[in-house]
Structure formats: structure tokens, C-alpha cells
Structure 1
């Protein structure tokens, strides 16, 4: 896959879970309101279009069977971090999601992964971990414990950079930052992020690590525009993130818009639904 000058798409492998039992029955983040009607049928439609978008872009999509009684299981990114074939599972903070972790653990074991480690610290996986190709960015503040950062470094064998989240609306790192282009021997990693979601110190760290980052504004963040998925050229983002899209185009990326209005009622978007498997 090749495309815009300076931007090269790389085929990816994703694990996803159909939101057959999607519902908002409890509130574990500011986006969730159990009194607001939701439609599992509409959520499935949005999810199907997201998965089809990945396939059209040349990516491989695998699925895990949804389980009744686990309405948030659709948010696959929260259930595992895979780097160089090593799998670090999840340990959820909210009791309502605890059972999801073992279903994903078994999926990896059933698909031939021998090196699967379940964490001892609270760890919400790619919700709070973002692989840059060189090191793992790791968020904390609302869900994942700081101790999980050190555990991830030991299990995955990669350097970890800790970042402090400050705004409860952006309770996971993947609601405030995503990797646009992984590092390669010829160029550094490139990211997009919303500075106001981070502590002052973490903002300084991000500015130092990524001086040419795409900076999102409040409107981008409020539609979960930073909950995007990039293959190095094509960037899948919510349809409302028009300011972010314009900045991405200026940087040589090609946005693909998806509707996540129903899934967003649970605080999730494209990335939340997508666990990347990096063998």
C-alpha cells in the first residue's frame, strides 16, 4: 500500500466484537447515561460499517463472539495489548466489565498465542496504552493504575512513557491521543492529541517527544475525534471531527469518516472498538 507523498499505509490485523448486546445499563464514565435510550441494532450497523471500512482499506478483521450480559464487550481495545506477538491482557476497574478479560484471554489462547499474561494491576489495555513503534505511551488518572505501566514494560519488553490524564471526559488515553504513524528507521513516530486532556507535565513530555504532532481542538475531542485508527496513511475518525480531518489532510493523511453516534453514548469510538494485533 502506498499513497500520499511521505505517508505509507501498512496492512493491519484487528480484533473486534459485534455489539449484539450493546446497552447503557450503568455509568462508569461521563458519556454514559442509563436514562438515555440506546439501540443495539443501530450500534451493530455503525460497528459493521467500521469493520467494512477497515476491510476496504486492506486490513484483516477478526472477531470474537459477543457474550450476553457484557454490553461493553464491543470495546475490544480495552481487553488486550499485543506487541511483537506478546499479549498482555486486561484487568478492569469497573466490576461490570471484569468478565470481559477472560473471554479475550481465551480467544488469544485458542488462536495459538502462548505468551499471554494477565496483569496484577488495574490495566485497561489499549484504552490506556498506545504503541508508537519505539515505546509504549501509557495513560493513567482514571482507569489504569500507574503500577500497570511498569508491569507492561516487564511483560512486553518495551520502554514505557507515563502520561497523566486530567479531564474525566477523556478517561482513557485513546480518547485524547492516537498514533498516526509508527516510528521507522527513517522517521519518528507521529501522533495527534488534545493537550488539555493532560497534566502540565505530560503536555511538556508530549511536546518534547512529538514536536510536529497534529494538535486537536476542543470540538475534535468532544466528538471523540482522537479515538481514531490510523494505518500510516488512512485515518478512520468520527464524522464530526472536521477540524482534525483538515489538519490530517494538510499532513498528507487521508481521513475516512464513520458514524459512531450510538456507540459514543457509552464513551466509545473507532479505536475503542479495535484491538490491534501486532505479531
Structure 2
């Protein structure tokens, strides 16, 4: 069954509001050197073996899904010795011609920044660095004309001010409190730009952050624990189609009810490193 078949399967009466897709520009890195050699988040267990061939097949399915939907996918060369480089979202933030490079918290991932800087430079951007730790689109998600910025585990709250200065965009800080949701993109998905619509998992955030989100996004989808615990919110939307982990079936039902078209993809092997669909996808926001 093709993506077109999947999106045509739901009857119009079940789709809710009309949602419109917009062609997107993504960058991805194949998991050629994927491994779980250290544990820097609660999902990682060095005693559990990794099947690199399976990881590659699952990743290729994700890439093919994007291409099938009409999106552009650039490939960033994988570097030996950087097993987490497949999680391309963490490489930086590219928005409105500004490229901000990641400044990783853990030394095991620090060299990824140089690899993504080389790709950005070759693509014609001029990557800039922050003094304080930021982990790219893991914690920096563009919602309309605002950057939603996570902190609490990986990105330093002080980096948010640097991001605002470098991009010229307003930044809304959101504190994370559950280590299972160590990046913003594990607990929140931007579903559409105009109007900006999101889905999120409230228990991952402080009460103050939840209050901010409810004020900013009164029609947001609040996702339950069963879907959050399979990293169901680590998803990518083009405004109509939402590519999400296959196990997040409840979230998929919520999306259909809201007029979106969910497309489940199995990235179970890459979940062993603590990432899924969005983690593998760096969006070039334009």
C-alpha cells in the first residue's frame, strides 16, 4: 500500500477540518554507524544488541515516506565513531536563512556539531554557535513565527536568549521535568503553521509550561501516556500528513479526528537510542 492509498483510506466525514500540506525540506543521516555504546538518556541500554541492518531498513522507509509525500530530503554523510548522528534533528536549527549549530551537552556527541557544520557550510549557510548548550531541533521547534524552546535536561535556558538574537524570532521557553522526555521533540509536535497547532504530553512539562501552552494553543491535542511512552510525539507534520511512530495508535486516532492524516512508521530499532521520526529529521524552515 502506498502513502497515497493510506491518505485516501479515511473517509472525508472522519477527517474533521480541512488540513493543507506544504512541501518541506529535510536533512537526514543514515544510521550506518548506529550503536548504543553509552547511555545518556533513559531509553539507552548498552546491554541490548542493535541490528544495524534493520535500523537502516527502517530509516530508509522513513526517508521514502517523505519522498513519496513530495518533500525534499538532503543526505548528510554519516561519520564513523558518531553512533548517534542518525538523530539529525539535534544538529542545529535552520530557519529563515539563519543556521544555528548545536552545542551538545555530552562529550560523546560533541563532534557531531562539526559534521553538521560542514554540511551547512557546503549547502551555503553560515552556521553560528551559541556559548551555552543547545541541542538543535531536539529542543528548538518552530511553530508559526515563534520558536518553542525546551530546557531542563539538554539545552541550557540561557541559550534561548542567544537563539532569539541569532534568528530574530521570539522564543518561548518550556521546562521539561521527566527524564524520559529529555528533549522537547519527544514531548511536543508542531502539527501546522497557520494557524500554529501542536500536540503535546502535559506530564512532561512543569505546570507553568503547561499553562503557557494552553494559553498559546487552546486547540492543542493532549496525548496520553500510552502514546507518549512509545515516543509517539516524536513526529513530523507537513500540515496535513503526520508521520509518527507506528505504535502511537491512540495519537493517530486523535489526529484523524482533528483532520490530519497519520502515517505510522516502525523505527523500533532506532528507539533503542532514544529517538524516532522527528529525531531522525532536521527540517530546514523557510
TM-score range, shorter chain: over 0.9
> What secondary structure does 2:272 align onto?
helix
Q: Show structure 1 runs of 4+ deviating over 2 A.
A: 2-6
Alignment deviations for residues 186-216 of structure 1 (CA, whole Å, 9 cap, x no partner) = xx21000000000011011111111100110
- Alignment-derived partner of residue 178 in structure 2: 167
**How many residue pairs get matched?**
273
Q: Does 1:89 align with 2:96?
A: no
Matches of 2:258 and 2:161 in 1, distance apart?
34
1:199 aligns with 2:211: no
C-alpha RMSD of matched pairs (Å): 1.2
- The answer as to 2:147 corresponding to 1:136 is yes
Alpha-carbon distance in structure 1 between the residues aligned to 2:230 and 2:22: 26
Tell me the residue number matched to 1:80.
Answer: 92
Displacement of 1:138: 0.3
What SS does the corresponding residue of 1:11 show, helix, strand or coil? coil
Instruction: List alignment gaps of at least 5 residues for structure 1.
Output: none
Choose from 208, 220, 229 the match for 2:215: 208
The alpha-carbon deviation at position 111 of structure 1 amounts to: 1.1
> What is the Cα deviation at residue 64 of structure 1?
0.6
1:133 shift after superposition: 1.4
TM-score by length of 1: 0.96
Question: Residue 180 of structure 1 aligns with which residue?
Answer: 191
TM-score when normalising by structure 2: 0.94
Shift of 1:37: 0.8
Match of 1:217 among 221, 224, 234: 224
Partner of 1:54: 66
Whether 1:123 and 2:134 are equivalent positions in the alignment is yes
Quote the Cα distance in structure 1 between the aligned partners of 2:173 and 2:78: 32
Unmatched 5+ residue regions in structure 2?
1-6, 9-14
Structure 2 residue 263 is matched with structure 1 residue 251: no
What is the alpha-carbon distance in structure 2 between the residues aligned to residue 138 and residue 52 of structure 1?
29
